[in-house]
A and B are shown apart, each in its own frame.
Chain A
């Protein structure tokens, strides 16, 4: 009645699946993305949930960031401005076509810029392109941009990775339309959008820069960093970004190439200059002086994974970087300054941080140990990463926090973060003389002159500002040795179409 038969044979059937073999597609570049937006990734380049790196392959910019950070022609061939830098005229490339066959014209360029300015689309890019007053297509290949104020480096703003050219016809000229159909002029065309799993892009053989190096790009969603590394090790993907502390997995393996690309991401320890004790310049100076930046870099990210900084928010790869600023460690000097400021016995400070970026907690802890040597007791307060930007950062009752910034051009970072009225003025920096420097730079005719003015602005921040910036982080990229021609530049600047695969 209760007779049962063995069903163990079924287990053996599992063995049959062992016939798996990975097809080595030489013409398909397989990369991964971290599914940071959980499958909501949009192909609209101005959307807050833009799908990187797909948009970088599907759409072209008017100008690309060149190796030295200066704009290089892309869809715009040449440009000039009025003497006062308020009106810019761009000559566009002829004969460029969108993936659907429609020609690219100044109409599309004007439309693409106008959408960025449309408040309804809530584009984060609007914060710095808000300087644009009007955009017009003069003729099919001429674009005219009128600015609200002078800006000698306006073209540099257009090198941002989100300022991409879309088709006005695809949107039927509707500025409110969300453009996620993936029609661009870029080196790759959309075959299939599946952000949750595998998104497939095919080479655009008619791209104006010539046929891309691979036939196809698969963008594979792998949320977990360890899983991503394992996929790389098992040969399931060809290229990925890795965290600095994971380089060891690949460094001694001949099948992989590790690329350390200098880049401009940074995590400042932020002091609000309008709140005590940080409103005293001596305290700010002391808190910066006491730090041993080299050992901070070594402890937090590893020597090879970043370049040292002296509290200037402009990264060394920027054409306007001021390389003459120095910042030696001086613990005794720091103690002296604190004593002059009324803290002869040191002081106790709460430093807020969160794991928004993995190094933000280690940085706070390493700094805590160094500060102790100068008699400063730093209490590291780790708070949840969720809601950090809205509940902790930039709140006057949290005057001492760890920040997180992506790479920005000099003009952009100085204006977005250090103007009194700027939304992201995290140090509550309020210095009309400093802002006058920024205005002066924007209307200076020569590059050398601008470099000298931006250099001065950086020196002021290094000396008196509220950001302590010990280092800039590199980007670390690992790729299979079958992949070639991966340019030594940050992801946002990477020419994907040049990459080849054996």
Chain B
């Protein structure tokens, strides 16, 4: 029942998000043709030809209806100004963004857990303070500032990594790798900062709890207590934070991709909005929303499964 309920609420939110996006974009001044023609839009004749060609001279509700109907059949529609199916436009960019998010997650999830434990086992130590200070700064600074500093240091001064991504569309993953180092480091910094704090405080709390006391009394080794008992209890709430920061990673990706000229969903979103390319914007929103809701569903499920008290509470 709870699963069904969770699923239903997510489908509903997807629908609401799509409605809001559609009508919000529609209320902005200009349309696909004024964006497309730019200064040439000063010519009313050109503008009229363009609007007729793209079919945006139709009433808004008709267009929304047609689009929603196609979506029901799993068809994301055709990009207004790129003249190709939306799914085809999105696919290579989606792969690139997922690559970025995946590598960031692989790098930052274990790192944040390890650092969290290290800090928790030595609370108040110099190491703990340094880690906290560094990641507090990373948390406070906007991503684009960190990104710019990274570029200045590692791309312009040291020239270790490229400043911006220059690869052909659909380049093999291996060719993307040197390009994603700086974006990944930037994204990871922020993610590690959030998650590490949660792991740290949870582990500290558990290490001080009664049941760990009991473990000590039973003569368990330090490592067994830490990894066998304290960490499993600390992880479920941390997983929630991780899932949410993975989701917010997708938001951060928009900024990061722009700064690093990375050919992904983020840059595509900005362009689609700039172009007033409604089907494309909606297509990207579908992908983002599905990912976000999917991740939060996954986090709920995993924490239910991992929670030692799960059997007792969640099926009541």
A in complex with B: yes
* Residues on A facing B (Cβ under 8 Å): 1-4, 6-8, 10-11, 14, 17-20, 22, 35-40, 48-49, 122, 124, 127, 192, 194, 196-198, 220-224, 226-228, 230-231, 233-236, 356, 383-384, 386-391, 393-394, 404, 406, 423-424
In Å, the complex CA distance between A198 and B168 comes to 6
The 5 A-B pairs at the shortest CB distance, nearest first, are namely: A2-B232, A387-B30, A386-B30, A20-B178, A387-B29
- Residues of B close to A226: CB separation below 8 A: 148, 259
Would A222 and B261 be within 8 Å (CB), given that A231-B164, A387-B30 are in contact? yes
A484 to chain B, nearest CB (A): 23
Residue A224 contacts which of B28, B46, B258 (CB distance < 8 angstroms)? B258
Instruction: Given contact pairs A6-B114, A226-B259, A387-B31, enumerate 9 new A-B contacts (beta carbons under 8 Å).
Output: A22-B162, A38-B81, A40-B83, A197-B263, A222-B261, A224-B261, A227-B261, A394-B42, A424-B42
B69: interface (CB < 8 Å)? no
A399 to chain B, nearest CB (A): 17
- Residues of B close to A6: CB separation below 8 A: 110, 114
Whether A223 pairs with B271 at a CB distance below 8 angstroms is yes
Which among B3-11, B153-161, B204-212, B292-300 touches the partner chain?
Answer: B153-161
Cβ contacts A to B, 30 pairs, < 8 Å = A3-B228, A10-B106, A17-B177, A19-B178, A20-B181, A37-B36, A38-B82, A40-B81, A48-B46, A124-B40, A127-B43, A196-B169, A197-B166, A197-B169, A223-B267, A224-B258, A227-B164, A227-B258, A227-B260, A230-B151, A230-B164, A233-B163, A234-B162, A236-B162, A384-B28, A384-B30, A388-B29, A389-B41, A390-B34, A424-B43
- Residues of B close to A194: CB separation below 8 A: 168-169
Most B CB contacts (10 A, CB to CB) among A40, A49, A228, A356 go to: A40
In Å, the complex CA distance between A125 and B259 comes to 35
- Residues of A close to B50: CB separation below 8 A: 48, 122
Whether A39 pairs with B34 at a CB distance below 8 angstroms is no
Which residues of chain B (32-87) have a CB below 8 Å from chain A?
Answer: 34-47, 49-50, 81-83
Whether A233 pairs with B161 at a CB distance below 8 angstroms is no
B65 to chain A, nearest CB (A): 24
In Å, the complex CA distance between A266 and B158 comes to 40
Which residues of chain B (248-274) have a CB below 8 Å from chain A?
Answer: 258-261, 263, 267, 270-272, 274
Whether A391 pairs with B29 at a CB distance below 8 angstroms is yes
In Å, the complex CA distance between A32 and B185 comes to 26
B100: interface (CB < 8 Å)? no
Interface string of B274-300 (1 = CB under 8 A from A): 111100000000000000000000000
- Residues of B close to A222: CB separation below 8 A: 164, 261
Would A36 and B164 be within 8 Å (CB), given that A10-B110, A124-B46, A423-B44 are in contact? no
In Å, the complex CA distance between A389 and B110 comes to 52
- Give the number of residues in B that approach A within 8 Å (Cβ atoms): 69
B227 to chain A, nearest CB (A): 6
In Å, the complex CA distance between A235 and B156 comes to 8
Interface string of B175-213 (1 = CB under 8 A from A): 001101100110000000000000000000000000000
- Residues of A close to B232: CB separation below 8 A: 1-2, 4
* Residues on B facing A (Cβ under 8 Å): 28-31, 34-47, 49-50, 81-83, 103, 106-107, 110-111, 113-114, 148, 151, 155-156, 159-164, 166-169, 177-178, 180-181, 184-185, 227-228, 231-232, 235, 258-261, 263, 267, 270-272, 274-277, 306
In Å, the complex CA distance between A49 and B33 comes to 11
For residue B41, which residue of chain A has the nearest CB?
A389
In Å, the complex CA distance between A391 and B42 comes to 10
In Å, the complex CA distance between A196 and B166 comes to 10
- Residues of A close to B34: CB separation below 8 A: 386-387, 389-390
In Å, the complex CA distance between A196 and B103 comes to 24
Whether A39 pairs with B164 at a CB distance below 8 angstroms is no
Whether A197 pairs with B168 at a CB distance below 8 angstroms is yes
Residue B43 contacts which of A3, A19, A423 (CB distance < 8 angstroms)? A423
Would A227 and B259 be within 8 Å (CB), given that A197-B168, A390-B47 are in contact? yes
B127 to chain A, nearest CB (A): 16
Whether A198 pairs with B167 at a CB distance below 8 angstroms is yes
Residue B160 contacts which of A11, A20, A236 (CB distance < 8 angstroms)? A20
- Residues of A close to B162: CB separation below 8 A: 20, 22, 234, 236
Residue A230 contacts which of B31, B46, B114, B156 (CB distance < 8 angstroms)? B156
Whether A4 pairs with B231 at a CB distance below 8 angstroms is yes
- Residues of B close to A383: CB separation below 8 A: 29
Whether B166 pairs with A390 at a CB distance below 8 angstroms is no
For residue A405, which residue of chain B has the nearest CB?
B39
- Residues of A close to B228: CB separation below 8 A: 2-3
In Å, the complex CA distance between A234 and B160 comes to 10
Residue B271 contacts which of A18, A38, A48, A127 (CB distance < 8 angstroms)? A38
For residue B89, which residue of chain A has the nearest CB?
A39
For residue A18, which residue of chain B has the nearest CB?
B160
In Å, the complex CA distance between A48 and B275 comes to 14
In Å, the complex CA distance between A388 and B37 comes to 12
- Residues of B close to A18: CB separation below 8 A: 160-161, 181
In Å, the complex CA distance between A356 and B154 comes to 34
For residue B271, which residue of chain A has the nearest CB?
A38
Whether A231 pairs with B261 at a CB distance below 8 angstroms is yes
- Residues of A close to B36: CB separation below 8 A: 37, 40, 48-49
Whether B43 pairs with A8 at a CB distance below 8 angstroms is no
- Residues of B close to A230: CB separation below 8 A: 151, 155-156, 163-164
- Residues of B close to A384: CB separation below 8 A: 28-30
A50 to chain B, nearest CB (A): 10
Would A40 and B155 be within 8 Å (CB), given that A20-B178, A196-B169 are in contact? no
In Å, the complex CA distance between A236 and B162 comes to 7
Whether A234 pairs with B155 at a CB distance below 8 angstroms is yes
- Residues of A close to B151: CB separation below 8 A: 230, 234
- Residues of B close to A388: CB separation below 8 A: 29
- Residues of B close to A391: CB separation below 8 A: 29-30
In Å, the complex CA distance between A269 and B224 comes to 76
Most B CB contacts (10 A, CB to CB) among A1, A37, A424 go to: A37
